Amino acid sequence: MRRDIFQAIADPTRRAIIVLIALQPMTPNAIAQHFDTTRQAVSKHLRILTECDLISQEQKGREIYYQLEVEKMKEVDQWIEQFRKIWETRFNQLDDLLDTLKKVKK
Protein backbone atom coordinates (compact mmCIF):
# COMPACT_ATOMS: atom_id res chain seq x y z
CA MET A 1 0.00 0.00 0.00
CA ARG A 2 1.41 3.37 -1.06
CA ARG A 3 1.27 5.99 1.65
CA ASP A 4 0.40 9.63 1.14
CA ILE A 5 3.25 12.12 1.52
CA PHE A 6 1.14 14.22 3.88
CA GLN A 7 0.57 11.24 6.17
CA ALA A 8 4.33 10.84 6.33
CA ILE A 9 5.07 14.43 7.30
CA ALA A 10 2.19 14.58 9.78
CA ASP A 11 4.32 12.81 12.38
CA PRO A 12 6.78 15.03 14.30
CA THR A 13 9.41 12.29 14.50
CA ARG A 14 9.36 11.79 10.75
CA ARG A 15 9.65 15.55 10.21
CA ALA A 16 12.66 15.56 12.53
CA ILE A 17 14.22 12.70 10.57
CA ILE A 18 13.72 14.65 7.35
CA VAL A 19 15.50 17.64 8.88
CA LEU A 20 18.39 15.44 10.02
CA ILE A 21 19.02 13.77 6.70
CA ALA A 22 18.45 16.94 4.71
CA LEU A 23 21.89 18.02 5.88
CA GLN A 24 23.69 14.76 5.08
CA PRO A 25 22.95 11.09 4.45
CA MET A 26 22.86 9.08 7.67
CA THR A 27 22.71 5.47 8.79
CA PRO A 28 19.70 4.24 10.79
CA ASN A 29 21.86 3.97 13.92
CA ALA A 30 23.08 7.55 13.54
CA ILE A 31 19.49 8.73 13.09
CA ALA A 32 18.28 6.71 16.10
CA GLN A 33 20.85 8.38 18.35
CA HIS A 34 18.94 11.65 17.99
CA PHE A 35 15.72 10.21 19.43
CA ASP A 36 14.61 8.83 22.75
CA THR A 37 13.03 5.77 21.17
CA THR A 38 13.98 2.30 20.02
CA ARG A 39 15.95 1.56 16.88
CA GLN A 40 12.91 -0.45 15.68
CA ALA A 41 10.64 2.60 16.02
CA VAL A 42 13.08 4.68 13.97
CA SER A 43 13.19 1.89 11.36
CA LYS A 44 9.40 2.02 11.09
CA HIS A 45 9.53 5.77 10.48
CA LEU A 46 12.26 5.28 7.87
CA ARG A 47 10.15 2.63 6.12
CA ILE A 48 7.16 4.98 5.93
CA LEU A 49 9.29 7.82 4.58
CA THR A 50 10.81 5.44 2.02
CA GLU A 51 7.36 4.21 0.94
CA CYS A 52 6.40 7.82 0.25
CA ASP A 53 9.61 8.36 -1.74
CA LEU A 54 10.60 11.19 0.60
CA ILE A 55 13.87 9.44 1.37
CA SER A 56 15.98 6.88 -0.42
CA GLN A 57 18.58 4.45 0.75
CA GLU A 58 22.02 3.76 -0.61
CA GLN A 59 24.23 0.84 0.30
CA LYS A 60 27.83 1.82 1.04
CA GLY A 61 29.81 -1.22 2.09
CA ARG A 62 27.97 -2.83 4.97
CA GLU A 63 26.06 0.33 5.87
CA ILE A 64 22.81 1.71 4.51
CA TYR A 65 22.57 5.49 4.27
CA TYR A 66 19.30 7.37 4.04
CA GLN A 67 19.09 10.62 2.17
CA LEU A 68 16.34 13.13 1.46
CA GLU A 69 14.70 13.17 -1.96
CA VAL A 70 14.43 16.93 -2.42
CA GLU A 71 12.37 16.64 -5.60
CA LYS A 72 9.60 14.86 -3.69
CA MET A 73 9.47 17.72 -1.19
CA LYS A 74 8.42 19.98 -4.06
CA GLU A 75 5.04 18.23 -4.01
CA VAL A 76 4.49 19.57 -0.49
CA ASP A 77 5.73 23.02 -1.50
CA GLN A 78 3.35 23.15 -4.48
CA TRP A 79 0.40 22.31 -2.25
CA ILE A 80 1.41 24.95 0.31
CA GLU A 81 1.97 27.55 -2.44
CA GLN A 82 -1.77 28.02 -2.93
CA PHE A 83 -2.09 29.07 0.71
CA ARG A 84 1.03 31.23 0.57
CA LYS A 85 -0.64 33.36 -2.10
CA ILE A 86 -3.75 33.77 0.06
CA TRP A 87 -1.65 34.74 3.09
CA GLU A 88 0.38 37.25 1.09
CA THR A 89 -2.78 38.85 -0.25
CA ARG A 90 -4.20 39.16 3.26
CA PHE A 91 -0.96 40.59 4.63
CA ASN A 92 -0.89 43.14 1.81
CA GLN A 93 -4.48 44.11 2.61
CA LEU A 94 -3.53 44.50 6.26
CA ASP A 95 -0.56 46.69 5.29
CA ASP A 96 -2.86 48.86 3.20
CA LEU A 97 -5.31 49.18 6.07
CA LEU A 98 -2.56 50.12 8.51
CA ASP A 99 -1.20 52.74 6.10
CA THR A 100 -4.70 54.19 5.76
CA LEU A 101 -5.15 54.30 9.54
CA LYS A 102 -1.79 56.04 9.96
CA LYS A 103 -2.77 58.70 7.43
CA VAL A 104 -6.12 59.27 9.16
CA LYS A 105 -4.39 59.81 12.53
CA LYS A 106 -2.13 62.57 11.11
How do the domains of the chain map onto residue ranges?
Answer: 1-68, 70-106
Q: What angle do CA 39, 41, 46 make, to 5 degrees?
A: 90
Length of the chain: 106
Q: Which residues are CB-neighbours of 70 under 8 A, at least 6 positions away? A: 22
Is the pLDDT assigned to residue 64 strictly greater than 70? yes
CATH number of 1-68: 1.10.10.10
Highest mean pLDDT: which of 26-35, 68-77, 88-97?
26-35
Tell me the C-alpha distance between 3 and 36, whole Å: 25
Whether the per-residue pLDDT at 1 is higher than 60: the answer is no
Rg (CA), the chain: 20
pLDDT value at 80 more than 80: yes
